[in-house]
Structure 1
Amino acid sequence: MKNLPPEDRPLFVQFCANDPEILLNAARRVEPYCDYVDINLGCPQRIARRGNYGAFLMDNLPLVKSLVEKLALNLNVPVSCKIRVFPNLQDTIKYAKMLEDAGCSLLAVHGRTRDEKDGKKFRADWNAIKAVKNALRIPVLANGNVRHMEDVQKCLEETGCEGVLSAESLLENPALFAGFRTAEWIVGSEEISKDGNLDQADLLVEYLKLCEKYPVPWRMIRSHVHKLLGEWFRIQPGVREDLNAQNRLTFEFLYNLVDRLRELGVRIPLYKKDADDAEILADDLAS
């Protein structure tokens, strides 16, 4: 990790934890190689409930404070946190201030509550994020409702935050921050540019090659393939069924699956609208 190219910096290493000593021991292992150690206090999934971490530590704020303080007092790299909002705005602001006082140097705020897990059903509350930003001295990143580059600019303007995050949208479209949109946000628009379009299959092939080079669990690969090929599978559900029927995946099967979809004439392009503007905005965000 020490030899990462400049575009991959700053490097954050994120942990889920509920024991300060164990968290510190883990953080010390990565400290020489990263720029920030991040504590995930925002995961709302069932696995986080079972493991008592992520957003479920919102029920035990003294423990959260001890996690942040333990790292802030003992590491040479700064500590960042990611949180979700409480239903009550004042509770959220109090929470954020506690994290800042405990030593958090950068805070990412997801503008949904712990129970609002469906991003397509529940809109993130940018006003709550703005209120947190205005209440703190440290940099704040906004998370939620960022589906394409126009949302990035709008979010920065409305919240006043230093940056934005995107999760589910990036799983479906890893080229989001390069200015590309999925068909979901383009169909019917007269502003589509025929230049600079990108086939989503190319992104999947690139992803699979990275997985071959840097092995990850197959369950994660399966999940990411479903995200990337969601539009394709709606057109060819039989291909999705064949994927689901595979108890044991192989790269050969997945590459063949992409070829099969292409042979069936399925193509889901990502569109790049106003490519020059997207590049300018990306440069502004990087500076």
Structure 2
Amino acid sequence: MMAAARLSFSDITALAPMVRVGTLPMRLLALDYGADVVYCEELIDIKMVQCQRVVNEVLETVDFVAPDDRVMFRTCKREKDRVVFQMGTADPDRALAVARLVEKDVAAIDVNMGCPKEYSTKGGMGAALLSDPDKIEAILKKLVTGVSKPVTCKIRILPSLEETISLVQRIEKTGVTAIAVHGRFKEERPRHPVHCDYIQAVAQAISIPVIANGGSLDLVKTNSDIEEFRKATGTSSVMLARAAMWNASVFTRQGPLPVEKVMEEYLKYAIRYDNNAFNTKYCLCQMLRDKVESPLGKQVQAAQTNADISEAYGLQDFYQQTLEQLQTRRGALQSSSQPDRPIMDGDVTTMAVKFERREYPPQITPKMFLLEWSRKEKLEQPQYETVQRSQDRAFQSTVTVAEKKYRSSLWEKSKKFAEQAAAIVCLRILGIPEGRIGEEDSGLVCKRKREGRMNGTTEEDVSKKRHVADILHSTETSEPTVVANGDGHKPTTPEKPPESPEQLTL
């Protein structure tokens, strides 16, 4: 049963891996139009191995997120059984680590051995591997024996047919499932004719499926040309790059569709799945081709956000509706969280808690209660460390009390609210009153503070004075102090509502 479920590379038409093109919107579009298999763009192992796998419930995707919060690879259930993850690597152990990171979310793993661009070859990756068959063998064997999914590779042809045949026969012995062959030499570019005879010789020399690549422009312009390219190379399968980039409807037998329609469908996917705006621009400009200097092309080039691009294509309503849907889903997910179950995240105790201001009297906050309790227990005052998430400018705070850390797993709209949420987590874990309306008076905060007056001064003013005093004390002692800000302090970053789907990633 396991073998039957594995992705087949026989008699398929595939979207080739293309840097800056093969992201989720283009892959889904290719599947819509009839592609059997879709490859992601080449992703470098050094970057991927640092990523964290994150289930994005708002977008309904699985994201692999780098330490700087960039999403390096995003996929979804729709393509799970047909997407091939292509990596750039020159290290067997690192290749295996990346493959194991992504294997349960993809259908197969591919190693790039054909890219002639410097960003790939300078690290010994891509086409640079072609001159090191021992390393090729080591990488592929490590992957074949180390992961549960099919392993493939993509190569370019070598200077002689004999060398090419010798290499692919050696690759076949590693146990890979298929080989994609770009029918050009390492130094050749798309303007050079593709060597169909080399690809045909490879297909005859090995028993595993061979995927022909490199036929765009010269040989494949429409869907009917795909079968001709398959026959000319003697392969079981064909892989398309530029022909699909220019108009993904090349995969449909009813096509080609007008490129304007294809661009609109692509943009809808880009909006729906929060595609990086500059990546979206790049792909649309590739589709525009010689019309890139048209009024539409200039408007796309000038766009800075997906909202701007949507306006260029008259999709403002679709953009706004999608934004609202994602916001609604995000709110529903947060409200359905279980706030009463503490979870350890490293050395931090977390709970899914939000600070709801209406649940507390005007002059009372959880931070105030935590501060007063710490003083009563003769502990150092609580210390707050707050971070801001780049995609939606939301905040999350960690409070340290008695050398233990507490944090809400939910993100807040302001630094102030994030600190209050962290204080709530700490108070609830420790079983300390937090001052909510209807809560029995604990005596932690005196009556004058509850009434908001202390010698004619509001608690807000008192907090400000304490804040200034703490800073002065810190300056005098030259010791850094993290100040427990009172409610009267404005957040260091202005509160802004989300403006685009890019800001809705959980």
TM-score, structure 2 normalization: 0.44
**Which of 307, 310, 313 is the equivalent residue of 1:252?**
307
Alignment map for 1:220-231 (pairs within 5 Å): 220-231=279-290
The 1:109/1:100 distance shift into structure 2, 3 A limit, reads same
Letter in 1 for 2:207: R
How far apart, in 1, do the equivalents of 2:275 and 2:117 lie?
Answer: 20
- Which of these residues, 188, 191, 201, is aligned with residue 116 of structure 1? 188
Which structure is higher in RCO with an 8 Å CA cutoff and minimum separation 6? 1
Q: Give the root-mean-square deviation of aligned CA atoms.
A: 2.4
CA shift in 2, pair 1:215/1:99, >3 Å: farther
Cα distance in 2, alignment partners of residues 76 and 239 from structure 1: 46
Taking the aligned partners of 1:210 and 1:107, their CA distance within structure 2 comes to: 30
Q: Does the 8 A contact of 1:49 with 1:56 survive in 2?
A: yes
TM-superposed deviation, 1:215: 3.0
1:138 shift after superposition: 0.6
Q: Give the distance between the partners of 2:264 and 2:296, measured in 1 at CA.
A: 17
**Residues 256 and 217 (structure 1), Cα distance of their counterparts in 2 relative to 1, 3 Å cut:** closer
Distance in 1 of aligned mates of 2:228 and 2:193: 14
Aligned CA distance change for structure 1 residues 17 and 216 (closer, same or farther; 3 Å): farther
The aligned amino acid for 1:228 is M
State the secondary structure of the residue aligned to 2:212.
strand
Aligned counterparts of 1:258 and 1:204: Cα–Cα separation in 2: 9
Q: 1:32 aligns with which of 80, 101, 104?
A: 104
Q: Unaligned regions of 5+ residues in structure 2, if any?
A: 1-61, 63-74, 316-506
In structure 1, C-alpha distance between the alignment counterparts of 2:307 and 2:77, rounded to whole Å: 29
Shift of 1:19: 1.1
The Cα of 1:257 is off from its aligned counterpart by 2.7
Q: Specify whether residues 46 and 222 from structure 1 end up closer, same or farther in structure 2 by C-alpha distance, changes over 3 A only.
A: farther
Shift in Å, 1:164: 0.2
Alignment check: 8 A CA contact 1:147 1:166 kept: no
AA of the residue aligned to 1:82? K
Matched, 1:132 2:202: yes
Deviation at 1:59, TM superposition (A): 2.3
Matches of residues 1-287 of structure 1 in structure 2 within 5 Å?
A: 4-5=77-78, 9-117=81-189, 119=190, 121-145=191-215, 146-179=220-253, 198-233=257-292, 236=294, 239-241=296-298, 243-244=300-301, 246=302, 249-259=304-314
Structure 1 pair 48/258, CA: closer, same or farther in 2 (3 Å)? same
* Contact 1:205–1:255 (CA under 8 A) maintained in structure 2: no
1:113 positional shift: 1.3
Deviations 1:69-98 (A, max 9, x none): 100111222211111111211111111111
Give, as a single letter, the amino acid of the residue that structure 2 aligns with 1:254: I
Count how many residue pairs are aligned between Structure 1 and Structure 2.
238
Supply the AA of the counterpart residue of 2:253.
G
Asked if the contact 1:110/1:142 (under 8 Å) is kept, the reply is yes
**Unpaired segments of 5 or more residues in structure 1?**
183-197, 261-287
**Deviation of residue 114 (structure 1)?**
1.5
How far the C-alpha of 1:259 sits from its partner, in A, is 4.8
- Cα drift, residue 181 of structure 1: 6.2
Of Structure 1 and Structure 2, which has the larger fraction of its residues in helix? 1
Q: Is the 8 A contact 1:204 1:228 kept in 2?
A: yes
Distance of 2:262 and 2:292 partners within structure 1: 16
**Deviation of the 1:44 alpha carbon:** 1.8
State whether residues 157 and 184 of structure 2, in contact with CA within 8 Å, keep that contact through their aligned partners in structure 1. Answer: yes
Instruction: Provide the secondary structure at the position in 2 that maps to 1:44.
Output: coil
One-letter amino acid of the structure 1 residue matched with residue 197 of structure 2: N
In structure 1, distance between residues paired with 2:280 and 2:90 = 27
Structure 1 128/74 Cα, relative in aligned 2: closer, same or farther at 3 Å?
A: same
**SS of corresponding position for 1:137:** coil
Percent of paired sites with the same residue: 27
Shift of 1:140: 0.7
Residue pair 1:148, 1:180 contacting (<8 A) in 2 also: no
TM-score by length of 1: 0.75
Conserved? CA contact 2:80–2:105, under 8 Å: no
Identify which range, 64-73 or 53-62, moves more after superposition. 53-62
